[in-house]
Structure 1
Amino acid sequence: MVYRFLHTADIHLDSPLRTLALRNAELSELIGLATRRSFVRIIDLCLDEQVDALVIAGDLYDGEQTSMKTARFLAEQLGRLHQAGIRAFIIRGNHDALSKITAELVLPETVKVFGAVAEAVAIDRAPGHFPVAIHGLSFAKPQAPESLLRHYALPVPDAVNIGIMHTSLGGSPGHDLYAPCSVPNLRQTGFRYWALGHIHKRSAVEDASSAIIMPGIPQGRDINEDGTKSVSLVTIRDDRSVVVEERQTAVAQFERLVVDISSASDWKTVISQAKSKVDDLSSEVSTDHLVARVEITGATELAWRIRRDIDLLRTELETHGAASGNVWIEKVVTSPVAPRQQVSRPSALDELATIIDSEIRHSLEYREEVRLIANELRGQLPPELRDIFGKDEVSFENLLGQFATEGASHVLARLRGSEGE
């Protein structure tokens, strides 16, 4: 008889918000509760599909700020599985290791939380059904700079072996190195399925011998976790072949929307085109809510006005989204530029643009001045918001370059606009 389970990871229950909390209280509340609502959907899916088990590959919590209210919520939801006779297998990830209540929470007996020593749990199955063994390993500390594979037991003979691991694999942008390993290394273990966690973007490597799945985060928390979010519904057939189905679980989906207004001849057309693009995107998203970051781009004589009146454009889009009931505008950014004048002799503004681009923007003196201003602003922010300026030196320097480019475009666009006023 088949064996079915749901595989998820990186729930990050009650993850604290950062930039959203500064902009829109209603949107902040929606996203603040989204991780819980998404987890309820995961439990609902387990019950609807009548799976044998739920597998969580780390980072149920988000870190040391986790409260007992979060823990009680988790216990209640896992209790729903217990009542239905569905088991749960959980490993602790790097964020769970920071949580002070991780080791204190009392869970139903059908929930197996793996400890710091690797274990293989044999699943009790009826006679004639193929045996199943689930392997797992948790870490008590948030750092795991070396591979964990050598700690796992050998596959149980004649069983379908399922491994659970929290790992960065070969590394991923935006994620710390954690228990690194490679796909070939995982294949060599002889495990039929590897249930991974840690990287928030979904990936799957499948062949006749194994399935290695990183399900990604089931609910995005900010614009950097945009796109469809899901879990994996896994069926191991009687012939031991594996079928992996992706099931969407997000309550709200973050998306980046680029609106090219090069063809717009007036302000009314700019608004109309932006609204139309938002509507098109909304029709393509299947979640309850769409949270969009809108970028206005293109070469247009209206560049100066768009930059000047960005607050009015945002209000128009927010009002339009509110009327639909499920569209939220996370932010509106602009990158339009005024078209260069097609004349034989460059204008004074064209010459200024050339000087800014060739002599000022890339000069060491200018970059140092921008760096000093950015460092002063960052120092005035509370610690939890300082990542706005980048999480490391490379991202900080890249952001300074963006500031310089956007600043120059903004000044030039407004100067061109003032010529016609």
Structure 2
Amino acid sequence: MTSFRFIHAADLHLGSPLSGLMLKDRQMAERFAAAGRDAFSALVEYALAERVDFLVIAGDVYDGAWKDNHIGLFFNREIARLSRAGIPVYYLRGNHDAESIVARTIAMPEGVHEFSTRKPETFVLDDLKVALHGQGFAERVAADNLALAYPPAVPGHFNIGVLHTSLSGRPPHAVYAPCSVADLASRGYDYWALGHVHAFEAVSADPLTLYSGNLQGRNIRETGPKGAVLVSVEDGRPRYERVMLDCARFETVEVNLAEDLPESAIPGEIEAALLPFAEAADERPHALRVTLSGRHASAERIKAARSQWRDDVQAACHRIHADLWLEKLVIALEATGTERPAAVGELAVDIDALVASIAAGEDAGTDELVGEISRKLPGGVAAGEEPLGASAAELLAEARDILRARLAGEG
């Protein structure tokens, strides 16, 4: 067999709005929103620089239905650069860009090949002795085991299976085209390029079976380095290396506060926890979810002043690096001592019982109220899964802490 190299990528999600960001700076929010497209451009640049033999994309090129053609035109423009360089592209549709969802079509450049959505299709590269097998999704829901219908390996060729699948289950990802590793191995292929799971995973060594992960993290659930996989094949044996191409990154940071730490020293503790991200922020902006944890005497006062602490933590991020941004501040501190019902004059208010009754649904309408408020916010501000920046339970807990602090102060 000949020696060759190819790139395996998946889950580009072009057009994803990254609506969950809680960044206050508009220019920075726009940089994160453009990161998915920038990462794909970086992928194309890398393929050109490395002069790879071909590119494989294992589904979800697009994030969903197009409102207009600009997403398709962007993909066409970038992929045409590979076409002009003689680097063919093989891709299929996943659940996010199934044939039934992305109805708009733009003629692709020569050398760009889409796998059929009706049945498995094979592309043979005679000069490299490579056979690629794949099938895209015709509908968003793909409950069948597609892998078992893939054809046998082409003799004398390096066989690559391309599939968008959850395998036997990869929570929190939904189940699509379910199959087992044994099902994949039964096809006799040399490499499986998988998509759908957004975290990199080496599923199997024989045959080499990989999830490349998504090209660009889109929210705080998709943390750490993101990119594609460069696969080198010599004498029929594949080896791989990860290539980091993301243009913005999400990370989580936990700052555990000592019980006796003075409140004035907390910003310094936060800065110390942020320092490891300074060098990484030289390469790309980072959005950080910072969690304050532990038992602390000022827990309730800090929770009651959440807005001010959020600004203080953002300021600490910027003291470390201009491209460190606070995605969200989570205050998970526990108060020291035993709390008693707050009292004002002769009125005793059991704050915990009041909030618990609301949370339990005894005072119905919390979710409806959050929805009503979010609908009145400016367009795009409340587009995420948590329109007001927190869940209803978190908002109730914050209200409880504010009431405790204020009633205790008045008392």
TM-score between the two structures when normalised by the length of structure 2? 0.86
Aligned partners of 1:96 and 1:102 also within 8 Å: no
The CA deviation at 1:285 is: 6.3
Q: Find out whether 1:124 has 2:120 as its counterpart.
A: no
**8 Å contact 2:249–2:287 — kept in the other structure?**
yes
Does the Cα contact within 8 Å between 1:71 and 1:101 map onto a contact in 2?
no
From 290, 297, 301, give the equivalent of 1:301: 297
The reply on whether 1:26 has 2:24 as its aligned counterpart is no
8 Å CA contact 2:359, 2:393 repeated in 1: no
In structure 1, distance between residues paired with 2:171 and 2:392: 19
Answer yes or no: is 1:327 the counterpart of 2:324: yes
Cα–Cα, structure 1 residues 132 and 26, in superposed 2: closer, same or farther, change >3 Å? same
Q: In the aligned structure 1, how far is the partner of 2:53 from the partner of 2:28?
A: 36
Secondary structure of 2:34's counterpart equals helix
The 8 Å contact of residues 201 and 214 in structure 1, kept in 2 or not, is answered as yes
Matched residues in 2 for 1:145 and 1:376: separation?
37
Q: Quote the offset at 1:110 in angstroms.
A: 0.7
State percent identity of aligned pairs.
31
Give SS of 1:121's match. strand
2:360 and 2:18 map into 1 onto residues whose CA distance is: 31
Conserved 8 A contact 1:38-1:250: yes
Which residue pairs with 1:85 in the alignment? Answer: 86
**Deviation for aligned residue 1:133:** 0.2
3-state SS of 1:38 partner: helix
Query: Which one of the candidate residues 252, 264, 269 is aligned to 2:265?
Result: 269
Counterpart of 2:270, as a letter, is A
Q: Secondary structure in 1 aligned to 2:183?
A: helix
Could you tell me which amino acid in structure 1 is paired with residue 277 of structure 2?
A: L
Residues 309 and 47 of structure 1: is their aligned pair in 2 closer, same or farther, counting only changes over 3 Å?
Answer: same
| Distance change (3 Å), C-alpha of 1:347 and 1:177 | closer
- Aligned pairs, how many? 395
State yes or no: 1:178 paired with 2:180. no
Structure 2 residue 208 is the aligned partner of structure 1 residue 225: no
1:166 corresponds to which residue? 164
Query: Kindly tell me: are residues 64 and 377 of structure 1, through their superposed partners in 2, closer, same or farther at Cα, counting changes over 3 Å?
Result: same
Structure having the higher helix fraction is 1
Matched, 1:288 2:284: yes
- Structure 1 Cα separation of the partners of residues 111 and 92 of structure 2: 14
Match of 1:336 among 333, 354, 368: 333
CA contact (8 A) 1:370 1:400 kept: no
Distance 1:175 1:387, change over 3 A: farther
The CA distance in 2 between the partners of 1:167 and 1:403, in whole Å, is: 37
With a CA cutoff of 8 Å and minimum separation of 6, indicate the structure with the bigger relative contact order: 2
CA distance in structure 2 between the partners assigned to 1:171 and 1:94 by the alignment? 15
**Who is 1:241 aligned against?**
237
Give the one of 347, 361, 379 matched to 1:368: 361
Query: Structure 1 residues 217, 89: closer, same or farther in 2, change over 3 A?
Result: same
User: What are the Cα deviations for residues 340-365 of structure 1, in whole angstroms up to 9, with x where unaligned?
Assistant: 16xxxx9667xxxxx887x77776x7
Amino acid at match of 1:34: A
Residues 22 and 328 in structure 2, CA contact (< 8 A), matched pair in contact too: no
Cα distance in 2 for partners of 1:270, 1:84 equals: 54
- Aligned residue for 1:48, secondary structure, equals helix
SS in 2 for 1:298: strand
* Separation in 2, partners of 1:145, 1:313: 47
Q: Secondary structure of the residue that 1:97 maps to in structure 2?
A: coil
Matched, 1:258 2:251: no
**Distance change in 2, residues 1:370/1:67 (3 Å):** farther
Taking the aligned partners of 1:289 and 1:263, their CA distance within structure 2 comes to 33
How far apart, CA to CA, are the structure 2 residues paired with 1:139 and 1:330? 34
Distance (Å, rounded) in 2 between the aligned partners of 1:175 and 1:370: 34
- How many angstroms does 1:91 deviate by? 0.3
Q: Which moved more, 1:35-44 or 1:138-147?
A: 138-147
CA contact (8 A) 1:254 1:291 kept: yes
SS at match of 1:27: helix
Distance 1:113 1:132, change over 3 A: same
Superimposed CA distance per residue, residues 55-96 of structure 1 (whole angstroms, 9 cap, x where no aligned partner): 001111111135311111111111111122111001011111
Unaligned runs of 5+ in 2: 343-349
Q: 1:394 is matched with which residue?
A: none
User: Which one-letter code corresponds to 2:289 in the other structure?
Assistant: R
Counterpart residue number, 2:345: none
TM superposition shift of 1:174: 3.2
Counterpart in the other structure of 2:139: 141
Structure 1 residue runs without a partner (length 5+): 350-354, 391-398
Instruction: Please name the residue that 1:94 is paired with.
Output: 95
Change (3 A) 1:20 1:376: same
Q: CA deviation at 1:197?
A: 0.7
- SS of residue in 2 equivalent to 1:388: coil
CA distance in 1 between counterparts of 2:137 and 2:370 reads: 37
The alpha-carbon deviation at position 199 of structure 1 amounts to 1.4
SS of the residue aligned with 2:361?
Answer: helix
Provide the C-alpha distance between the structure 2 equivalents of 1:286 and 1:228, rounded to a whole number of angstroms: 14
